[in-house]
Structure 1
Amino acid sequence: MAKTKIPVYDIYSIIPGHTQQDLLMERLGPYVQKHQHLHSQHGHSFYHLVLFTKGAGTHTIDFTHFTVQPYQVYFMIPGQVHSWHFEGGVEGYLVHFSPAFFQSFLNDQQYLARFDFFKGDSEAAVLKIPATLRETVVQLFEHMLQELEKPRESGLDMIRTYLLQFFIQLERSTATGMRHNIPPQKQLLLNNFQQLIHQHYNTIRLPKEYAELLYITPNHLNALCQDLLGKTAGEVIRDRVLLEAKRLLVNKELTITEIAWHLNFQDNSYFNRFFKKNTGLTPEAFRKQFSH
């Protein structure tokens, strides 16, 4: 049902007339002025990042609030939702790129998942650019804009290399790159688990069922999640269901009963108990808090 979803944009639909399917990059100030409708909750089918160099206000990623600060950058992966409420003018840079944008360039199709800010955790996706790195970062973004404004041979490949420089330098300069030296096989297994949850959270709720799909034991899956995420496998599944509930509650066209049915809860009261236990709010109270 179309009405069960927050608006989700692809790179084509977010800007009518845009013809480049894998990349969109603009200065933030003019973009915000041209696209006022994008201030409310919406999702993307692409990767999205914004670097603020000036401005104030707030923005949310998957219902976590952040205060806008100069030289703050935030990252989003496909499927996440966000909104923003700026106070006065903002300046900076905005980049959208499709999942295929780097897959055609890098042999390792899971490469972006090595960065904590591209793992779908909103708390790890908002970073302050260190003062020592700001001039370098601005130069990288200006170089990318120049490649778009004056197209030359292999221009998109140059933009890819500039973006990768930005990701790596940011990882080196912040705490996000220092948590774990995660073995690739563990990271791949975790990524596969998270992808399975995204596909089946409505119908599969037990860790042992996901463990069977991954050909590992439930204890192995639980230890993996505890080690890499600090959560049990059951908590990871629960959090995904809870996130989808929040996304649906923002849509005023849906009743609480319809949302409970959509999320495969046995009845409305069970859904209410689940939501209040994990958020401290009833579904109706959450809707009033986040719907505008």
Structure 2
Amino acid sequence: MKEQFPIYDICAISEFKRDDILISRFAPYLQSHKNLALPHKHTFYHMVLFTEGGGTHAVDFTNFPVRPYQIYFMVPRQAHSWSFEGHVDGYIINFSVPFFQSFLLKPDYLDDFQFFDGTTDHAVINIPEGLQQQVKHLFEAIIHESETNERLGLDMVKALMLQIFILISRISVNSSPKGNVNYNQTLLRGFQKLIEQNFANLKLPKDYAELLYITPNHLNAICKDMLGASAGEVIRNRVILETKRLLINLDLSITQIAYNLNFADNSYFTKFFKKYTGQTPEEFRKNTLNNTHHDDVSYK
């Protein structure tokens, strides 16, 4: 029987009391989950601060070296894996999509933070030395709140987490001013959200430009200016990423994946994937799974 590709929710991977949030020091969390052997996805937001250790971790098939005082963020549905060297420690917080929605008047507040936009390049941030102890202190305060039963403890956890988000956003946001740049950033974020909702059905820039009430040329210019890629490339890269995520689900055949992504036939799907990755879908699946077992990687 084919192995089911794992997609975890918070209560499925912990013995913690609440379904909406998991808070832990990293070393005991890692010790408890040695049994996870393949890349997988979460249904929740995932945040890790490393304070000790080395090795690599991967977010959506992009590898990053593990460094002390590196923090990374993941949104639901991203594929994720770890391969550590030696003792690793830090902090981990997993929290559900609705966790902040009842706390803030703006339910999509997290969308304002670049590191929660689902883009791999924004997900991993090395904290400058001057901020490391401040961020660590906030994580320690969250651990304390999770271990005690103080009044409004969960609200305090949320307030401390928001402080972390704001501090980290100040590291990662560049200081280019106003006006047209901010307007273009809003359009770009709208484009990225629309891609998330429609990439399987809408694959042409003109379709998204129409939804944004701008011309395809304007959309293309924004993407090239802010991302260094055309609008068509941004759409195509999202389709390829989803293909890779689906390919590590061993219960899905190549034909099913092509159908799910609205490709006309298997042959065109295979040519499309090989053109932009250098591998057929079958080769990518085989190489990814072989590398996993060969390297004896522990995945979370």
TM-score by length of 1: 0.88
Q: CA deviation at 1:160?
A: 1.8
Q: What is the Cα deviation at residue 227 of structure 1?
A: 3.8
Tell me if the contact between 1:115 and 1:177 (Cα under 8 Å) persists in the aligned partners: no
Residue 242 (structure 1) aligned to one of 229, 240, 244: 240
Alpha carbons 2:73, 2:124 under 8 Å: kept: yes
Structure 1, 134-143 or 17-26: larger mean CA deviation: 17-26
Match of 2:122?
124
Among candidates 267, 270, 273, match of residue 271 of structure 2: 273
Equivalent residues of 2:3, 2:250 under 8 A apart:
no
**SS of aligned partner of 1:88:** strand
Alignment partner, residue 26 of structure 2: 28
Aligned pair in 2 of structure 1 residues 29, 4: CA closer, same or farther (>3 Å)? closer
Aligned with 2:68 (options 64, 67, 70): 70
Greater relative contact order structure (CA < 8 Å, 6+ sep): 2
The 1:108–1:123 alpha-carbon spacing in structure 2 relative to 1, beyond 3 Å, is same
The share of aligned pairs that are identical, in percent, is 53
Is 1:12–2:11 an aligned residue pair? yes
- SS of 1:153's partner is coil
Question: Separation in 2 of the partners of 1:264 and 1:127?
Answer: 35
Paired position in structure 2 for 1:89? 87
Whether the 8 Å CA contact 1:46–1:78 is kept in 2: the answer is yes
The worse-fitting range, judged by mean Cα deviation, of 148-157 and 241-250 is 148-157
Deviations 1:242-262 (A, max 9, x none): 011111222334333332233
Structure 1: tracts of 5 or more residues without a match = none
**Secondary structure of 1:20's partner?**
coil
Aligned residues: 287
* 1:150 maps to 2:130: no
C-alpha distance in 2 between matches for 1:202 and 1:66: 28
The equivalent of 1:192 in structure 2 is 190
Q: CA deviation at 1:181?
A: 4.5
After the TM superposition, which of the residue ranges 71-80 and 6-15 deviates more from structure 2? 6-15
Between 86-95 and 176-185, the greater mean CA deviation after superposition:
176-185
In the other structure, the counterpart of 2:173 is 177
Query: Normalised by the size of structure 2, how large is the TM-score?
Result: 0.86
Q: Assess if the C-alpha contact under 8 Å between 1:27 and 1:91 holds in 2.
A: yes
Other structure's SS at 2:86 match: coil
Aligned-residue Cα RMSD (Å) equals: 2.4
Identify the residue that residue 201 of structure 2 maps to in structure 1.
Answer: 203
Which amino acid is the alignment partner of residue 68 of structure 2?
A: P
Mapped to 1, the partners of 2:247 and 2:3 lie a distance apart of 9
